[in-house]
Amino acid sequence: MTLFGFHASHEQIGPRALLEAVKHAERAGFDAAMCSDHFSPWSARQGESGFAWSWLGSALQATGMPFGVVNAPGQRYHPAIIAQAIGTLGAMYPGRFWAALGTGEASNEHITGDPWPRKDVRAARLRECVDVIRALLAGEEVSHDGLVRVDRARLWTRPEEPPALVGAAVSVATARWCAEWADGLITVNAPVAHLREMIDAYRDAGGRGPLHLQVHVSWAPEQAQAEALAYDQWRSNVFAPPVCWDLETAEHFDVVSADVPAQRVAEVVNVSADLGRHVGWLEEYVELGFDQIALHHVGKEQRGFIDAFGAEVLPKLRPTG
């Protein structure tokens, strides 16, 4: 059975309000949760960016749901520190935490002052980080000299079972590459044909573990409200790679998105006041074989979305009898 999760967007909602939202989502019938891990939002209108790892400890304690996070080790984060963070949460909340690993975005990583590498270099760096993190979670002492450097690191606090390390991908080629090392795959909503191609590429290359999907939605009681909300909050998030990878500040995103048409936003966000239409979209994703679908309502106010989807959408997506 597909699990339906709540995506906690640190870039749009302050951490205290986001904690209340995820607690409310559990009460409303959501099965799981995940969150982003950014240093900067994609727009000044979004206006937040809390520290994911501090928040995750509180969120796991405040709920009984499993949680995941999408992280980019290698520049802003040393992989040994990420291994320690994963290991600590895994030890505190056994079986309830997973981490997805990706190559990152300049808007978060440029803060170190180090150059932003080419995509192929970022992929190679991530692969090194994965190996370091896995070895540390397995209890090994690690030294490594490469695109990342590690000197005699050892995790003294570890879970009995290492949390899953999931591969983050938006392209077919990256999904295929993730099959080499990942315990599962996560991607974002896209046309069904593209998602099917990604899944096939991952599985055909030997990819194991669950399939995760993050779905951007915009819902409001009136269609015009849903459209306006999506346009205000998410028009800076419509750009395909490499643009979205390489812009450095929220101001850059706001400048390049100033003239984005509303229809372009509807290509990356499922926008509708009709809850039945949202059910239909989600049924298509379930049929593709996704094991967990995290719903991200792109508005800042979450309670109405949580209540509506908990009462009218999620029950229609679950087996009966």
Of the candidates 27, 24, 42, 28, the one whose C-alpha atom is nearest the C-alpha of residue 9 is 42
Among 26, 105, 109, 128, the active-site one is: 105
Tokens found for residue 153: 């690191």
How many alpha carbons fall within 13 Å on the CB side of residue 247?
A: 21
Cβ proximity of 167 and 143 under 8 Å: no
For residue 38, indicate whether it is catalytic.
yes
Residues 6+ apart with CB under 8 A from 27: none
Among 38, 212, 278, 296, the active-site one is: 38
Residue located via tokens 């989600």 = 282
For residue 105, indicate whether it is catalytic.
yes
Of the candidates 185, 182, 159, the one whose C-alpha atom is nearest the C-alpha of residue 83 is 159
Cβ proximity of 72 and 101 under 8 Å: yes
Tokens found for residue 299: 């508005």
- The DSSP code for 162 is P
DSSP labels for 237-294? G-PPTTHHHH--SHHHHHHHTTT--HHHHHTTSEE-S-HHHHHHHHHHHHHHT-SEEE
CA-to-CA distance for 216 and 304, rounded, in angstroms? 16
The residues annotated with a catalytic role in the active site are 38, 105
